[in-house]
Structure 1
Amino acid sequence: MDQRVQEPPLLKASSGKAFLANFQMVPLSTGKLNVNVDTALSPERIGIISRDHPGSYSSNRKSFLANPTAFLGECIAFREGLILTLHLGLVLEKAETDVQNVVFAITKNSTLAL
């Protein structure tokens, strides 16, 4: 069985405008946290942005002595976002990353899993 994921078709400008016009942000539940992680421009640093239910933002940064690959840096950033949530004693409602391989490594039985 082929387990490749099909990517959604690219939106054209007109359909993109229609999509954005209908987009509605759903607020987080009380006491929940949204964490969006990404590696910074410098490959030996990661950045973590978190937003709580009233919409307040906070950011954190972590530096490393080693220079991990982009994929490993993204995985570390995701892990650090989860650790931050635990440290703050909050319940994670949503975690976001822009790297499909990180999602596969976390959610699938994959050779990319760490």
Structure 2
Amino acid sequence: MVQGLNTLICQISDMDRAVAFYRDVLGLSPRLVTPYWSDFMLGPIRLGLHPKFRGEASGGGWIVGVEVADLKALRTRLSEAGYPTDHPYHETPLGVVVDFADPDGNPLQAIQLGTKMSDFA
């Protein structure tokens, strides 16, 4: 089902400050910098910076983003196993994602690369 780790996402409160930290303090080279998404490559893994998600009670933090070949199948499997899948699909420049959590409530996100929202209608 899961093909591998795709992105480690960090929810941040100030994009400029966060980019400066990862670039200037840690010495990483940004691949993309925008007000809504910035990322750096850590070998084969993307480190993504994203403003805090709306409605997140946790106030931010890390999310593990995995890559899947069939996002609909993952969502069905989660639902059948009793895990809530009430988060809507969300289109990104790389593909469509869906958010979910493990049994302890730790946030996860799955992406099916190369897809558009119209693929999930």
| Larger relative strand fraction | 2
TM-score by length of 2: 0.25
